[in-house]
Amino acid sequence: MSHDMGPDINRTQGASEPDTAGKRTGGLEPKPVCRLVGTDGNVFSIIGRVQRALKEAGQPERASEFVRKAFQAKSYDEVLGLCTDYVDAR
């Protein structure tokens, strides 16, 4: 449910771009689109796709942060959750 709270908080604070708030990471940088549906479901392949999408979007620091957190994750589901925090997974 926390995904719904971010845009609502931004709207109540008078954010200048409320209709794009759902596609922004922490309200700072836009989430790049990353195709995950219908691709190799191996966790290392998924991590690589998300990392590549972030780097190609000009977010190398976020790519490094994502990889670090993904390798610290305790489960496959936790990695998938991280993916949606960093990219617009489709």
Q: What is the pLDDT of residues 1-38, one digit of tens each?
A: 434 433 333 333 333 333 333 455 555 789 999 998 88
Name the DSSP class of 22.
G
The CA dihedral of 57, 58, 62, 68, to the nearest 10 degrees, is 90
Confidence (pLDDT) at 39:
84
| pLDDT confidence bin for 83, thresholds 50/70/90 | very high
Closest CA to 52 of 19, 90, 86: 86
Lowest mean pLDDT among 28-32, 58-62, 65-69: 28-32
| pLDDT confidence bin for 79, thresholds 50/70/90 | very high
Rounded distance between C-alpha atoms, residue 20 and residue 49, angstroms: 23
